[in-house]
Amino acid sequence: MPQVMNILKKYTGWFVLGTLIFYLLSVTQSISVLLPTLLAWTANVAMWHTLAPSAKRQVSWLMGVGIAALLFAVSKGIWMSWQQVFAVNLPMLAMFVAVSFLDLTSTTDKSRALPTGLSAIFNTAIGVQVLGAVINLSVIMVFADRMKGAIMLTPIQQFILTRNFSAAAWWSPFFVATGIALIYAPGMQWQKTLIPGLAMGFTAIVFSSIEAYLRKKGDFNGYPIRRESLFIPLFLAVCVIFFHFIWPDISILVLICILAPSATMLLMRTASRWKSLSHFVNHKLPQIGSQFALFLGAGVFSNGISAIILSYPQLFNLDSFTFSPLLFSLTLASMIVVGIIGVHPVVSIAIASPMLLPLHPDPTQLGFLFLSAWAISAGSSGLTGLGLLMTSRYQIPTKIIVTNSVYYAIFMWLLCSLVNGFFL
């Protein structure tokens, strides 16, 4: 057994990469979806030892409750297919692997002085959102490490980074939230949420920048953004929109799975592409164990909830309700609150989706609900992944993170409710 685990650990990155490659092959129906599913779960086993104790507990609870619910449903005559239980989040995992390659295109300039004042706040907010929209979580650490310098990151710098990074969930096709929304709101048309999403993202930038300026009177050290660093995110976003327009039958998820690694190999700046890619696969991909475990666990949990609902159709019958603007607003408020107290958005979405789908909501409105819950709760919570990063790495107390963003969360919740009511 130890020898088997050593082999798994040695080739973990290749199992992760195989999940992406063989998922794309399964989309063409060249192979069964069973192979990428096995690779994903094998990678999860191999990376389990890298998870923090809190992540292990959360995933163990998700899987434990999900499996118990599935077994109970079986006793009631309700069976879920193995694809539903083990492969429901496979497209999103493949997308996450593909987007991870974009880390290879990022560069850090440590020679430039940190800018100050209102323009520094505004540019940092725009930069972390636009770059984070494509390169994802590593951008937060690049910005925060540079901004804190020899001292600690301030609470004001923290909320400028976390709020605006999370706000990319509203509009970026490369953000993990989009993949989740597309899966749990079947039929969602991402293009229809793009303009409202961009408006929400820009509002987050303006709201946070004004608040930071008023609280610090311009005494703020920002990140030295360069215009050329924004080229790759904007280029990729345009490519996704363009190719989806040409080939509308190809899903956004599949396009991203193809475009992200392709663009990385085309645009990465390195002396040896093969050497950089090899190092990335062997050393960087094995570090995404928490994401693999969480999304695979959430898939089991979600199907357990679905199976229980199917077992007691009368108890969970919401036929007397419609997916009205009021229900949208109340559901969003609930998801934000549970997100702030530590429930990951993936989990709250996995619970909400099977309960709301029988109401036959407009898929795009349902998708916008999930994107909004993710963007607001992730940007306001001290207990989900982003908040825990700020607490553990930059010593920002959880209480400060939450209290700093109470008014932001309420304002954005109200605005999302209005956008849903009038524009979707």
The model's pLDDT over 316-351, given as tens digits with 9 standing for 90+, comes to 666 677 889 999 999 999 999 988 877 778 888 988
The lowest-confidence range among 162-166, 328-332, 352-356 is 352-356
Tokens at 34, concatenated: 């069973």
Output the pLDDT for position 107: 60
| Top-confidence residue, 385 or 197 | 197
Residue 91: which pLDDT band, with cuts at 50, 70 and 90? confident
Output the pLDDT for position 108: 56
Residue 212: which pLDDT band, with cuts at 50, 70 and 90? very high
pLDDT for residue 125 is more than 70: yes
- 237: amino acid identity, one letter: A
Mean pLDDT of the chain: 85
Closest to 101 in 3D by CA, of 275, 263, 251: 263
Side-chain half-sphere exposure of 243, counting CA atoms within 13 A = 18
In tens, the pLDDT along 395-411 reads: 788 889 999 999 999 99
Give the 3-state DSSP-derived string for the chain, with helices as H, strands as E and coil as C: CHHHHHHHHHCHHHHHHHHHHHHHHHHCCCCCCHHHHHHHHHHHHHHHHHCCHHHHHHHHHHHHHHHHHHHHHHHCCCCCCHHHHHCCCHHHHHHHHHHHHHHHHCCCCCCCCCCECHHHHHHHHHHHHHHHHHHCCHHHHHHHHHHHCCCCCCHHHHHHHHHHHHHHHHCCCCCHHHHHHHHHCCCCCHHHHHHHHHHHHHHHHHHHHHHHHHHHCCCCECCCCCHHHHHHHHHHHHHHHHHHHHCCCCCHHHHHHHHHHHHHHHHCCCCCHHHHHHHHHHHHHHHCHHHHHHHHHHHHHHHHHHHHHHHCCCCCCCCCCCCCHHHHHHHHHHHHHHHHCCCCHHHHHHHHHHHHHHHCCCHHHHHHHHHHHHHHHHHHCCCCHHHHHHHHHHCCCHHHHHHHCHHHHHHHHHHHHHHHHHHC
Output the pLDDT for position 226: 74
The answer to whether the CB of 375 falls within 8 A of the CB of 400 is: no
Residue 110: which pLDDT band, with cuts at 50, 70 and 90? low
Average pLDDT over residues 39-68: 87
In tens, the pLDDT along 214-252 reads: 987 767 888 887 776 677 777 877 888 788 788 888 887
The lowest-confidence range among 199-213, 273-287, 405-419 is 273-287
Output the pLDDT for position 115: 81
Average pLDDT over residues 100-110: 70
